[in-house]
Structure 1
Amino acid sequence: MLTVPEAIPPLSSLPLNESDPPNSAWGLWGTGPDSALGSLNYLTDELVARTVKEEVRTGERVGLNLPLDFFDPPLLGRAGFEQKVIDKDPLVVNDDVISFNTQGSSQWDSLRHFAYQQQKKFYNGTTQSQIHEGPRTSINDLQSWSTRCLAGRGILIDYISYAERKGIQIDHFTPHAVTLDHVKAVMEESKIESRPGDVLFLRTGYAEAYAKLSTDERVKVAGVREWTGLAQGKATTEWLWESQFAAVACDAPGFEVRPPTEKEWHLHPILLAGWGTPIGELFDLEGLSKMCKKNQRWSFFFTSAPLNYTGAVASPPNAIAIM
């Protein structure tokens, strides 16, 4: 049974153990099997049951998964999607075999994806050698998530819609920073109140902008390692920690802006390696935005079933939002 600590310590008290990396919360969830879930421990049965009753009203639903072959050529030098359709002649039957990088399209990053670079430690002190000591180790992989799946309340910060109304110009393929003030302004305007255990979704418009690119422009963008995302900083990190999100996600290649506005507060190591908080990237948030605008409500019930296999570093989310 998942348990939530009675009190969450302030960010200023991190790390919980003096010898651990900066801002890490190793041990917050104890040392049992559920500790591997990190902040997904917020998604208790009670929270899920309450969220279904409160958030599912119309029955409308939308998938949050971009096509596996959406990015062509693939971003960041990753392997592209391949499919082979197999004719099972003499039977009039087809099979297909696909190959893809699990981070090539919509994805969850597992807690074995990104470490504290200086200390070379993943979540709960896991080392690279522990992950690679066998052909398929399970430490910090996605299998504990996929066994229970993710379910709970999602909230959408529709930044791109806000920016368009306010006349804020965005080049999605440059380091445009979405500040904490921007996020709070969107929440106030949309009457969004976050709750512990929410899954935070940030719509920057990146995926929508990519869809409008020409073939030549897509080739150029494939090699660009800059993009729009949440601005890093102490105040942002404090807000994320105090909000007690179960997970965070966006529609860009990284949840946070790249290059970072403040390298000291680079969120990938803090979220993944420090807090055990899943990061979702390249989610399809276009249909969700339309559904939220139609209902004038920016909270919803959210489910996700990551792939189930030993040693997964990342996975398509297989995610659905239900209004």
Structure 2
Amino acid sequence: MPLPTSIPSFDELPLQKGDPIHSAWGLWGTGPESALGSLNYLTDELVLKTMKEEVRTGERVGLNLPLDLVNPPLLGRVGFEQKVIDKHPRVINDDVITFNTQGSSQWDSLRHFAYQGDKKFYNGTTQEQIHASPRTEINSLQSWTTRNLAGRGVLIDYARYAKLHGISYEAFSAHPITVEDIEAIASEQGVKFAVGDVLFVRTGYVASYKAADQTRRELAAQGRWVGVRQGQATLEWLWKKQFAALASDCPGFEMIPHAEGEGMLHPVVLSGWGTPLGELFDLEALAVLAEKHNRWSFFFTSSPLNYTGAVASPPNATAIM
């Protein structure tokens, strides 16, 4: 669909009386494209322009953690299981895997986290609509998979910034990354944001998790982590930037537990704006490559799993420099 001729200010949200706080239901119309939310920014023209500008060396790094890395599972989720099947008498193997789609690197769909008080997902979808039959499609990831995700990624490397500036923090604690931090890092890295960017925030969580022994990983499973700070200032800044998607290497993009008096970002970002949230992305090799080239923007692609009613999916993501 054509991009909106103008984006309302944050103060103009919600767009319609009676809709949940800060929501932008209707911004992308009512047709099939509305299910894409902010992914509508990733037009063919923008993707082509980004490829020409961002792909310079051809170096590629995957952004996906192993499906079986996180153990014990976070947030009480089901862990990864694999069965390797010997198809005797033929010398052939198959395997069958079972996993929670949010157990490792993942995209959250627009049916994952509702406005809790209003009990509404993106564009007013209810839990009853989602569960009306065993496998409904409304607000699922499947609408994204027709053309997948591709565009300009921008890495904000907080872990690097903290090390350079002597900021000490625990990855498995509620350490906040503020808008002021992000702007300072962008300035140091020479990053200029553009509408339709995919914002990646490297918190250092994945690096800490990979280095942790089992005792430390059990601490991580208690559900505390570094992340972007919640609150009105963060929401207003994110809305002004109009990113196509948001992602980080921590389990929730935003820090958990959130600061007292500041509601979570998830309901507004996912169910209010239709902006995908990526979590537990592996940004370690990308950070090395970005520092090598002194360039923190890149071409990004992602191909989520394609099945009816997906709530979340491994991103199958690649950054190309």
- Structure 1-normalised TM-score? 0.98
Paired position in structure 2 for 1:108: 107
User: What pairs up with 1:1-323 in 2 under 5 angstroms?
Assistant: 2-222=1-221, 224-261=222-259, 263-323=261-321
AA aligned to 1:161 is R
AA aligned to 1:213 is A
Q: Structure 1: give runs of 5+ residues left out of the alignment.
A: none
Report if the CA contact (8 A) 1:233-1:262 is conserved: no
For residues 9-36 of structure 1, the C-alpha deviation after alignment (integer angstroms, 9 at most, x for no partner) is 0000000001100000000000000000
- Measured in 2, the distance between the counterparts of 1:263 and 1:135 equals 37
What SS does the aligned partner of 1:321 have?
strand
What SS does the aligned partner of 1:297 have?
coil
- Measured in 1, the distance between the counterparts of 2:219 and 2:232 equals 33
Report if the CA contact (8 A) 2:83-2:97 is conserved: yes
What SS does the aligned partner of 1:226 have?
coil
Report if the CA contact (8 A) 1:78-1:104 is conserved: yes
- Measured in 2, the distance between the counterparts of 1:225 and 1:7 equals 39
What SS does the aligned partner of 1:147 have?
coil
Please provide the CA RMSD for this pair. 0.8
Report if the CA contact (8 A) 1:107-1:317 is conserved: yes
Report if the CA contact (8 A) 1:123-1:272 is conserved: yes
Change (3 A) 1:279 1:306: same
AA aligned to 2:49 is R
Instruction: State the 1:265 CA deviation.
Output: 4.2
For residues 287-314 of structure 1, the C-alpha deviation after alignment (integer angstroms, 9 at most, x for no partner) is 0001100111000000000000000000
- Measured in 1, the distance between the counterparts of 2:11 and 2:248 equals 27
- Measured in 2, the distance between the counterparts of 1:262 and 1:130 equals 33
Report if the CA contact (8 A) 1:232-1:262 is conserved: no
Instruction: State the 1:263 CA deviation.
Output: 4.4
- Measured in 1, the distance between the counterparts of 2:261 and 2:70 equals 28
For residues 239-291 of structure 1, the C-alpha deviation after alignment (integer angstroms, 9 at most, x for no partner) is 10010100000000110111112544421000000000000000000000011
Change (3 A) 1:160 1:105: same
Instruction: State the 1:148 CA deviation.
Output: 1.1
Greater mean deviation of Cα atoms: 252-261 or 18-27 = 252-261
- Measured in 2, the distance between the counterparts of 1:75 and 1:295 equals 34
- Measured in 2, the distance between the counterparts of 1:74 and 1:259 equals 18
Greater mean deviation of Cα atoms: 71-80 or 124-133 = 71-80
Instruction: State the 1:215 CA deviation.
Output: 1.3
AA aligned to 1:61 is R
AA aligned to 1:216 is T
- Measured in 2, the distance between the counterparts of 1:310 and 1:296 equals 41
AA aligned to 2:320 is I
Report if the CA contact (8 A) 1:251-1:283 is conserved: yes
AA aligned to 1:278 is P
Instruction: State the 1:3 CA deviation.
Output: 2.1
- Measured in 2, the distance between the counterparts of 1:120 and 1:170 equals 35
- Measured in 1, the distance between the counterparts of 2:138 and 2:187 equals 40
AA aligned to 2:188 is E
What SS does the aligned partner of 1:148 have?
coil
For residues 182-224 of structure 1, the C-alpha deviation after alignment (integer angstroms, 9 at most, x for no partner) is 10000000010010000000000001001111112212321x1
What SS does the aligned partner of 2:145 have?
helix
